[in-house]
Copies of this chain bind each other. A is one copy, B any other.
Amino acid sequence: MNAGSVWPTPAAKQRLTPIDASGVEIVGGFWARRQRLNREKTIPHGFGQLQRRGPMDNLRLAAGERGRYQAEADSGGSTFPFLDSDVYKWLEAAGWELARGADAILAAAADEAIGVVAAAQRPDGYLNSFVQVVGGGVPYQDLAWGHEFYCVAHLIQAAVAWRRGLGDDRLLTIAGRAVAHIDAEFGARGRPGIDGHPGIEMALVELARVTGEERHLALAERMLGLRGRGLIGPGRFGPEYWQDHEPVREAATVAGHAVRQLYLDCGAVDAAVELGDEELLTAVRRRWNDLARTRTYLTGGTGSRHRDEAFGDPYELPPDRAYTETCAAIASVMLAWRLLLATGEPEYADAIERAMYNGVLSGLSLTGEEFFYINPLQRRTHRAAEQAGHGRRAPWYPCACCPPNLMRLLSSWHHYLATGDESGVQIHQYADADVTAGGIRLAIRTEYPWQGRVTVRVVQTPDRPWTLALRVPAWSRASTGPVVRHSRQWRAGDSVVLDLEPGIRVTAPDPRADAIRGCVAIERGPLVYCLETVDAPAGTELEDLAWDGGRPPGEVPRPDIEPGVVGIDVPVTHSATPLTAGAIPYFAWANRQVEAMRVWIPT
């Protein structure tokens, strides 16, 4: 058994069943390139950053070594108490990666990190380097901002990955003791307490799933029930910031800090399917609908406010000041995956696709060693923006939640491609991949996202009829409905071809979205495109170009960006002169000369 990153129990009430992680292998193309980059560049780079920037040393201090605690404090604000979580997220990525294939150097680095984590844990099970080293040593004094449960949540997720992927329980032992410490104080007979940053809810459900211990599910349920009752206080941004303004099963819309809301709703879905709690699931779906309809950028990113990293009002979607944190896009993928499993509805797979190809991948440089925390849809050239860190990719961040979040998602991305059970296999995302489930073995071959043809060949089949279900992306012109189903008694060697049509689309904004009125965006297949200064006609400024509706855009190979990339030549006018500007996929922006960029082009 080699379960994936979300693995409901057989009793869970849900429509689709994930495939054992070892049952899906990405063997080539777009995503193989990215998984390889993650393994060979990003994850090693991340370990180096964790070693140099403090997070590993902080845990060593907690283990008794001497030195100065590094909380990456800035001179004006508060210190960060949550840096342990970056070590745990990296360990989760390393776990999935080692499950994909052995690597002695990566394994040694992970062993070192696990050893440090084990040494840092107090004899009573408590584990948080900030509290232990500089926070006075008394746990749970600042649940609102302290991130103690949040850090344990990521420890659990790492432990789950190592158990499921490798059968290695070292982290699971540590996590179990840390959770027991929390449970003793905040469990059914303890005081009420929830974390200012959700996350532990989904982790506890997963912990219950891997250990079979119901009490973890009960603690998750308890924490979900306690939220939304003002327990944390208003803080500096109001109770919506941490979703403490309305009970989880009542709040009609997403609100407050985007990552907090989405992590919370991941936990709510996990608990809902295990408990068969339809009401709770319905509440999350209602919020998702609101999010998808009124507060999601074209890139699948979400969160339009810098001040409190929050969703904005409905249709408050400024392209330039989009916050669209990489972690929020990742969290939306995590939530959509859970909703897809629970409901089987392909719209959630569409959302995963849009976010992955655009708002998630934009957070990672093409070299794999630089990141974006914030992913705007427009940048004007201005030094101030660069100095404030909104224009240039960085090798790491003082608050480095996003880089290891990208690592763990990419290292487990194959989990998200397909589901399967006795009735057959459902393919949700397209990649060159081999899929094995329930005696069925498929070879999927495609040049997606650059070309629309997907060939699924049956390599092995059981001796009974089953159904192959293929998602048709919402953007495809094919009038087939959202899913194509082939049901038959298959034979080895059979194959099915799905021809999607990734033609160029000129997308008009919702008229209620004020900030992008009078503009269009260019899309092709699952990809959103953008203009960058370096591809603008010579002698023009990006801000002076307008869309020329009288001429059609055209496809053009852009191997200068990356092998296989299809660029788009965009017809524009500059002072009434017809010119052409080169558009590239949004995820690839800010990898060359860094100047202006825009997704939405004035008409």
Contact = CB atoms under 8 A, between A and B. Distances in A.
Interface in A204-261: 233-240, 245, 255-256
B240 A384 contact: yes
Interface in A355-380: 378, 380
Given A74-B236, A76-B144, A236-B75, A514 B388 contact: no
A464 interface: no
Contacts of A319: 514
Interface string A296-333: 00000000111110111111101111000000000000
Interface string A505-543: 000000110111111000000000000000000000001
Interface residues of A, number: 53
Interface in A45-69: none
Contacts of A236: 74-77
A125 interface: no
Looking at chain A's contact residues, the main secondary structure is: loop
A602 interface: yes
Copies of this protein in the assembly total 2
Contacts of A311: 384
A387 interface: yes
A577 interface: no
Contacts of A245: 387
A321 B305 CA distance: 8
Contact of A518 (B76, B233, B517): B517
Contacts of A308: 388
B514 A320 contact: yes
A203 to B, nearest CB: 23
A145 B387 contact: no
A310 B304 CA distance: 17
A385 interface: yes
Nearest to A318: B318
Nearest to A196: B76
A456 to B, nearest CB: 44
Contacts of A234: 74-75
A256 B313 contact: no
B388 A315 contact: no
Contact of A384 (B256, B382, B511): B256
A78 interface: yes
Nearest to A245: B387
A511 B304 CA distance: 23
B240 A512 contact: no
A511 B306 contact: no
Q: Which A-B residue pairs are the 8 nearest by beta carbons?
A: A518-B518, A306-B307, A74-B236, A517-B518, A313-B382, A313-B380, A76-B236, A238-B387
19 contacts: A75-B233, A75-B234, A75-B235, A76-B78, A77-B236, A78-B78, A238-B389, A240-B388, A245-B387, A308-B388, A313-B380, A314-B382, A318-B318, A318-B320, A319-B514, A511-B602, A514-B516, A514-B602, A515-B515
Interface of A: 74-78, 144-145, 233-240, 245, 255-256, 304-308, 310-316, 318-321, 378, 380, 382, 384-385, 387-389, 511-512, 514-519, 543, 600, 602
Given A78-B78, A238-B389, 4 more contacts: A75-B233, A237-B388, A313-B380, A514-B600
